[in-house]
Structure 1
Amino acid sequence: MSEIRVLVVEDNPMQAKLIEELLASAGETRFHTHTVDRLETGLNFLDANKVEVVLLDLTLPDSEGLATFLRMNHAANGIPVVVLTGNDDVSMAAKAVEAGAQDYLIKGKIDGNRLARSLRLAVKRTHAEQQEWNSPMLHLAQQQFLKAAQIMSLDENLRERLLFPQRTLVVTLPFRKDNYTHVETVFGYRVQHLLTMGPTKGGIRYHEDVGLGEVSALAMWMSWKCALMRLPFGGAKGGVRIDPTDLTGHELQRLTRRYTMEIIEMIGPEKDIPAPDMGTNEQVMAWLMDTYSQQMGYSVPTIVTGKPVALGGSLGRREATGRGLVYVVEEAAKVMGLSMQGATAVVQGFGNVGSNTARLLEELGVKVVGVSDVSTGLYNPKGLSVTDLLKYAEENRVLKGYPHADEVTNHELLELKCDILAPCALQNQITEHNAERLQCKMVAEGANGPTTLEADEILKERGIFVVPDVLGNAGGVTVSYFEWVQGTQNYMWTLDEINSRLKKILVDAFQRTLSRSEGQNVDFRTAALIEGIERVAEAKLKRGLFP
């Protein structure tokens, strides 16, 4: 939570100035404050502007007491309200908390740390209460599943069961910041969607928008992905709601170790095997492995995949998702009659998946004309040097300022003319609002859920070939499976063996999906989902119901 917009409703100018100064020096969180001295002014501001939290004095020139809070709380409509009170009126503040205020602060006893923590926690609590299941990503995953289930006439009992995860764990965990005076409390999650197929498998992401609904959607997609690849796993996912870019290396390690301890009863080499995802990497997996191993009393490298090679990680795992996406793009290009040599590509996202996708496409002779990251989008119709981009990103952390391209927004990037568009960033990037303006021949999804159902229909009508995420980004979990197998057998494979096996599995999944798509006259995404769901349904029916 790096930035928070605060509406301060306080009529005492000295108190208001003190609050602004305390928040300005709050440290890791940047607070944007707007101060008003009357309730009506605050209500009007709230109606016209977006804020994350309200800091409200209960004694104002135009209103006093509990009525002040009730009016503001009604107008805030879900935005958390923290009340300010004097020493002589704590009972009124307590009544406001009973009526829905997130917290109260006593004037004269406010320090910067207490104030900042109260506002941060109010925002986090409200997000947790409102957003856990109310997730656009979960809604998308469920709608995709229901569409496939309807077409395949899936048993009603299985349809109901598979709409939600089998197990969920929500934890709140503390970890110390480097100054050791501040203990941060954050929300963590681990979700297992399906336990029928074997141990569950899924990454851990650190991101400030992580919630139960998002993690559940990712776990559901992982179930279909593993089944489509014919891997002996069910789907799982985990995460912590935090911005990892705000943390030092020491803070990231303490957070990871504490999170591991909170979920330790849920994970295990034969139970649930985590891996890296957005905001995490092989170093985070090394800390997780070490923490788990310390508790077991011996080294357990198979507790995670995506760890460093020195600790039993697999060659090729880091670039596996991008490499797998390119393998599938090659197969799709054959079906379309599109030559990779000289084709043009735009890659949204320049993290692990996006950067490797761009690099490997370039190695095949594809001209990468556009890329983007969180800071900017870049476009050069003559082609970008991915090698130069990687070097620039390594030196500057972001792509912004790269001199050999025109700057475009992420939204403009998606609409650039190209043969292959690879969204490798976040969900809900291609929607009904921009699908008509896409100028590509193929959408190759490296991210999870980048295309909405409405956009899918538009792309189908326009004849744009869509490589869906459950197929396109399955290279990561496939090589994770290879790593798990190598760990359990204590036998390591060469990089050529890994890439050869990866390509064989992905090409087989592509061909099965293509055959189903043509045979049942359904779009490629629905065909891939049916292929995976059908395998899950068969396994569940074969195992039966206990007791």
Structure 2
Amino acid sequence: MSEIRVLVVEDNPLQAALIQELLAQSIDTRFEIDTYENLETALNCLSKKKFDAVLLDLTLPDSEGLTTFIRMHEAAAGVPVVVLTGNDDWSLAAKAVEAGAQDYLIKGKIDGNRLARALRLAVKRTHAEQQEWNSPMLHLAQQQFLKAAQIMGLDENLRERLLFPQRTLVVTLPFRRDNYTQVETVFGYRVQHLLTMGPTKGGIRYHEDVGLGEVSALAMWMSWKCALMRLPFGGAKGGVRIDPTELTGHELQRLTRRYTMEIIEMIGPDKDIPAPDMGTDERVMAWLMDTYSQQMGYSVPTIVTGKPVSLGGSLGRREATGRGLVYMIEEAAKMLGIPIKGATAVVQGFGNVGSNTARLLEELGVKVVGVSDVSTGLYNPKGLSVTDLLQYAQDHRVLKGYPHADEVSNQELLELPCDILAPCALQNQITDRNAEKLNCKLVAEGANGPTSLEADEILKERGIFVIPDVLGNAGGVTVSYFEWVQGTQNYMWTLDEINSRLKKILTDAFQRTAGRSDSLNLDFRTAALIEGIERVAEAKLKRGLFP
């Protein structure tokens, strides 16, 4: 359940009590409320405590009218303000909206749903206005690109062209909750970074922090990843800003189908091919495929990859990202002289990528000593049974409470002694604040953007080898390519064929990156990025400029 911290400024104690009662009834959001009766006290509190939204009466003992809003709006500094006004003065509230208020509510005409939704939407809109391009993840992706472009001497025209995505689509879409009385409005995105190389390819992410900047960064990384693997795709990504764990299956299906309709003109088996990402899975891809096919009038399996095998999905796709990361770990271990059998590993994240990485490492004889998910971190220096962890997670949904390990924090997990550290959760996990404390020989990035540029420099100085995300987690898009090829040919491959071809493509990319790294004395991330960017630059120059 999400939480919103609200500053309520209301001098009528009965009205304030009613607001408290109405917000306490909210099922989907927990509201933490501070209430004050006058403006000066509220402004003083605002300077000392962080709030997500302000609910402001425009008639207070020490201030009235539009001046009340203006003073609060200036002091709030980016915190959305929803104003309260009487039925006889709604025009004043309208003026406040013109001056920057996110919404207004008429006293005597509000109910719990109206009040909670107004506050939720105010927070969402403000986040959209402030954060769409101001994304740490996009900043990191651009920094990495500019560093590589500088070293390789990339043409300035191409550098400017590739710094931002070629196409972006931002939509707001409604979907109905199961109670049939509540219709949520959420933000959705689809971004195509590069259209030069063929159809674009990239997953769809459902997460409460999804924004235009984050999706653009992921699309950019996907361009370099596809070029590095020599796949005939440009990079794309999509997402919806929502927490999927709070939705029922019916709500998730309605959301997916509506989102598909909002982006349907942008996607297609020869234009842009979605796939699963964080918060989505085979089931979501099946709904997307069905919705698209209904509009076309015939079945179009190649509109998505990562769908169920019974609908034309590929064997091996579900575990492809984790399997690809393990292939890269094997190659790096050979290069570094680390014996795989008997090595120790810590895996951050126990979703699809992390759990498969841990399972496949265990099969190779690696001792997995630490894992984590959103609920907790677990550590056992004698080794964890990944089979038991998978069963426990299936039975309890999360790892918290697992009895055969010590609980550790996320920060402590990253600093555990091990040979292999695999960050497979979220971005920005290894930074200049903790890079000095890592106690591993090899970092294998299963997540996108888990390591900052500053941390890269520290790890390089410490002699810790990094398998970068554009190489480490490329197994997913590679097997997605296999699925797309199988769908267009109507010819299915065996699992052995898929895994063999996956290993061949990834190993080739690793060796090319290693060669470039050695010849130019570069870290592996920069070498991998240059390998991908160079292919994109060549393709753009060969196609020329239109008109």
Q: Work out whether the TM-score is over 0.5.
A: yes
Do structure 1's residue 194 and structure 2's residue 194 form an aligned pair? yes
Aligned partner of 2:2 in structure 1 is 2
Q: Secondary structure at the match of 1:278?
A: coil
SS of the residue aligned with 2:184? strand
Q: Could you tell me how far 1:527 is from its partner in structure 2?
A: 0.1
Q: Which runs of 4+ in 1 moved over 4 A?
A: none
Partner amino acid for 1:59? Answer: T
Shift of 1:39: 1.4
Partner of 2:225: 225
Distance in 1, matches of 2:94 and 2:189, equals: 31
- What does 1:456-535 correspond to in 2, within 5 Å? 456-535=456-535
Q: Which residue of 2 aligns with 1:135?
A: 135
One-letter amino acid of the counterpart of residue 248, structure 2: T
* Aligned residue-pair number: 547
Q: 2:280 is matched with which residue? A: 280
SS for the counterpart of 1:179 is: coil
Is 1:401 matched up with 2:368? no
Q: Could you tell me which residue of structure 2 aligns to residue 451 of structure 1?
A: 451
Paired amino acid for 2:118: S
Partner AA of 1:457 in structure 2: E
Give the superposition deviation at 1:101. 0.6
User: What amino acid is the match of 1:358?
Assistant: A
> Which residue number corresponds to residue 26 of structure 2?
26
What letter is aligned with 2:526? T
Q: For 1:115 and 1:60, locate their aligned partners in 2 and report how far apart those are by CA, in whole Å.
A: 20
Superposed CA deviations along residues 398-438 of structure 1, whole A, max 9, x for unmatched, are 01111111111111111111111000000000000110111
Q: Calculate the TM-score normalised by the size of structure 2.
A: 0.99
- 1:20-52 CA-to-partner distances (Å, cap 9, x unmatched) read 110010111111111122212211221122211
> Match of 2:440?
440
Could you tell me how far 1:88 is from its partner in structure 2?
A: 2.3
Equivalent runs, 1:3-152 vs 2, <5 Å: 3-152=3-152
Letter matched to residue 221 of structure 2? W
Cα deviation, residue 109, structure 1: 0.9
Q: Distance in 2 between matches of 1:50 and 1:342?
A: 48
User: Which secondary structure state, in structure 1, belongs to the residue aligned with residue 342 of structure 2?
Assistant: coil
Q: Kindly provide the CA deviation profile for residues 96-139 of structure 1, in whole angstroms up to 9, marking residues without a partner as x.
A: 11111111111111100110110011011101111111110000
Aligned: 1:354 with 2:354? yes
Structure 2 residues without counterparts, runs of 5 or longer:
none
What letter matches 1:305 in structure 2?
A: T
Displacement, 1:517? 0.3
Distance in 2 (alpha carbons) for counterparts of 1:429 and 1:61: 48
Structure 2 residue matching 1:149: 3-state secondary structure? helix
Query: 1:391, 1:132 → 2: CA distance?
Result: 39
Of stretches 50-59 and 310-319 in structure 1, the one that deviates more from structure 2 is 50-59
139-148 vs 10-19, which moves further: 10-19
Which one-letter code corresponds to 2:365 in the other structure?
G
Q: Which amino acid aligns with 1:107?
A: K
Gaps of 5+ in 1: none
SS at match of 1:295: helix
The superposition leaves residues 462-501 of structure 1 with CA deviations (integer Å, 9 ceiling, x where unpaired) of 0000000000000000000000000000000010110000
Indicate yes or no: 2:251 matched with 1:246.
no
* 140-149 or 52-61: bigger deviation: 52-61
The 3-state SS of whatever aligns with 1:443 is strand
- Could you say which residue in structure 2 is the equivalent of 1:209? 209
Q: Distance in 2 between matches of 1:434 and 1:65?
A: 50
Cα distance in 1 for residues equivalent to 2:546 and 2:194: 15
Q: Distance in 1 between matches of 2:490 and 2:10?
A: 66
Q: What SS does the aligned partner of 1:171 have? A: strand
Question: Could you say what secondary structure the match of 2:231 adopts?
Answer: coil
**Alignment match, 1:317:** 317
The one-letter amino acid of 2:77's match is N
1:422 matched residue in structure 2:
422
**Counterparts of 2:298 and 2:174 in 1: how far apart (Å)?**
26
Which residue of 2 is the match for residue 331 of structure 1?
Answer: 331
State the AA in 1 paired with 2:394. E
Aligned residue in 1 for 2:180: 180
Matches within 5 A, 1:366-381: 366-381=366-381
Q: Distance in 1 between matches of 2:384 and 2:62?
A: 61
1:235 Cα shift?
A: 0.2
Identity fraction in percent: 88
Once the 2 structures are TM-superposed, how far is the Cα of residue 89 of structure 1 from its aligned partner?
2.1
CA shift for structure 1 position 67: 1.5
Q: Distance in 1 between matches of 2:252 and 2:6?
A: 27
**Does 2:262 correspond to 1:297?**
no
Query: What amino acid maps onto 1:451 in structure 2?
Result: T
